[in-house]
């Protein structure tokens, strides 16, 4: 497993470099073919390479991605290493170790009948070309196991917030800021009013939700104007929304679309909207119960669970009604960061857990 992990990590796969993603798909496909005994279907959508193995009529979906956030050349500054049981390298935790665990878990099964493996190439940039594939496959299945990295302490992820993304574009009117500013419509001032208005939206979306699991509405990048002596004719406020429930996502979307301008003459254009539905705990409850029971039989301590604010492709599978358990992948930390790492000793126990989960659900 360590040798296979090293091979995947040393093939860089930055999401935005489609040639690199295609090369990575070749390496992943070869590894999967060796361990599963069959080549994958290679699916290229708008230049992005995805891989799918299907054995008979799918009942269980194993889901992962081979793209990473690490720019090409990152191996020069973050090379593969293995020291004192800790493996490091770009994308190792998110989520190349999870791919290795998928292949080795399935390799130990006597039959793969009823299993589908989907490994996508654009998860880190929003899954724009793979969402339809994910949802189409999940609708046919009774369970989805997502091999994204675990939460702190090895906890599996039983809930994920949904995501929405907006650009609020204010259209104003330019004028010379020294000679006749009164003839302009200042888009920057309106953008400031919008930022303040956004602050109150989250509180009305789910005021009764538990602390730490509430909606967040966060203005992020904001820009305006063209020169320092011109009344800004346009301004943009980017907004990141995280929601625990579909109802909250719908309420926030409606509220954003009915925001009113306060600067006379300004016009607001709302771009974007909901991106990933929330993965709610009801989707994972039964699968987590089974996973905890299996872990107990295999001699683990109590299997932990966590609800997290980050989204994954598991949001899509849960969103179409397929029971989904996420975070079954690597134990470690530092996703997307300089200290990204995997605890190698945890890979085999988690692989055995996945094997048992799949076996139970394809009987």
Structural domain boundaries, residue 148:
2-160+278-361
Last residue of a domain, one of 245, 260, 276: 276
| Same domain membership, residue 156 and residue 55 | yes
pTM equals 0.91
Q: Which of 331, 344, 322 is nearest to 63 (CA)?
A: 322
| Same domain membership, residue 148 and residue 296 | yes
Residue 324, H or E segment: strand 324-325
What's the DSSP call for residue 124? Answer: G
The helix/strand/coil state of 86 is: strand
CATH code at position 222? 3.30.70.360
Q: What is the DSSP string of 95-112?
A: IIHHHHHHHHHHHTSS--
| Same domain membership, residue 15 and residue 117 | yes
Q: Count Cα neighbours of 132 within 13 Å in the Cβ-side half-sphere.
A: 6
- The whole-number average pLDDT for the span 336-353 is 97
| Same domain membership, residue 287 and residue 349 | yes
| Same domain membership, residue 111 and residue 11 | yes
Predicted confidence (pLDDT) per residue in 24-67, tens digit: 999 999 999 999 999 999 999 999 999 999 999 999 999 999 99
The helix/strand/coil state of 128 is: coil
Quickly state the pLDDT bin for 201 (edges 50, 70, 90).
Answer: confident
The Cα–Cα gap between 277 and 287 comes to: 19
Domain count, the chain: 2
Predicted confidence (pLDDT) per residue in 67-107, tens digit: 999 999 999 999 999 999 999 999 999 999 999 999 999 99
| Same domain membership, residue 61 and residue 154 | yes
CATH code at position 54? 3.40.630.10
| Same domain membership, residue 304 and residue 267 | no
């Amino acid at each position: 497993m360590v040798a296979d992990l090293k091979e995947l990590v040393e093939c860089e796969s930055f999401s935005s470099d489609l040639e690199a993603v295609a090369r990575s798909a070749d390496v992943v496909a070869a590894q999967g073919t060796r361990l599963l005994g069959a080549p994958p279907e290679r699916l290229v959508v708008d230049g992005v390479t995805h891989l799918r193995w299907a054995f008979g009529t799918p009942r269980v979906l194993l889901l992962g991605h081979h793209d990473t956030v690490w720019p090409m050349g990152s191996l020069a500054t973050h090379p593969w290493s293995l020291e004192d049981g800790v493996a490091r390298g770009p994308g190792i935790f998110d989520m190349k170790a999870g791919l290795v665990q998928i292949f080795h878990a399935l390799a130990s099964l006597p039959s793969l009948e009823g299993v589908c493996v989907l490994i996508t190439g654009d998860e880190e940039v929003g899954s724009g070309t793979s969402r339809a594939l994910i949802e189409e496959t999940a609708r046919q299945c009774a369970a989805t196991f997502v091999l994204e990295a675990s939460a702190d302490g090895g906890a599996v992820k039983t809930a994920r917030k949904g995501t929405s993304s907006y650009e609020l574009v204010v259209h104003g009117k330019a004028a010379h800021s020294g000679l006749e500013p009164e003839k302009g419509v200042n888009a920057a001032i309106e953008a400031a009013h919008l930022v303040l208005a956004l602050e109150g939206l989250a509180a009305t979306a789910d005021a009764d939700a538990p602390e730490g699991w509430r909606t967040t509405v966060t203005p992020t990048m904001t820009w305006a104007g063209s020169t320092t002596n011109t009344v800004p004719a346009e301004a943009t406020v980017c907004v990141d929304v995280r929601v625990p429930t579909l109802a909250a996502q719908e309420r926030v979307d409606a509220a954003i679309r009915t925001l009113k301008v306060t600067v006379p003459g300004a016009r607001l254009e709302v771009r974007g909207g909901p991106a990933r539905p929330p993965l709610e705990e009801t989707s994972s409850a039964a699968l987590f119960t089974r996973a905890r029971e299996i872990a107990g039989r295999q001699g683990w301590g109590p299997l932990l669970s966590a609800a997290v604010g980050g989204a994954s492709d598991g949001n899509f599978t849960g969103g179409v009604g397929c029971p989904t358990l996420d975070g079954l992948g690597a134990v470690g930390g530092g996703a997307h960061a300089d200290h990204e790492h995997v605890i190698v000793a945890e890979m085999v126990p988690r692989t055995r857990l996945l094997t048992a989960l799949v076996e139970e659900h394809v009987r």
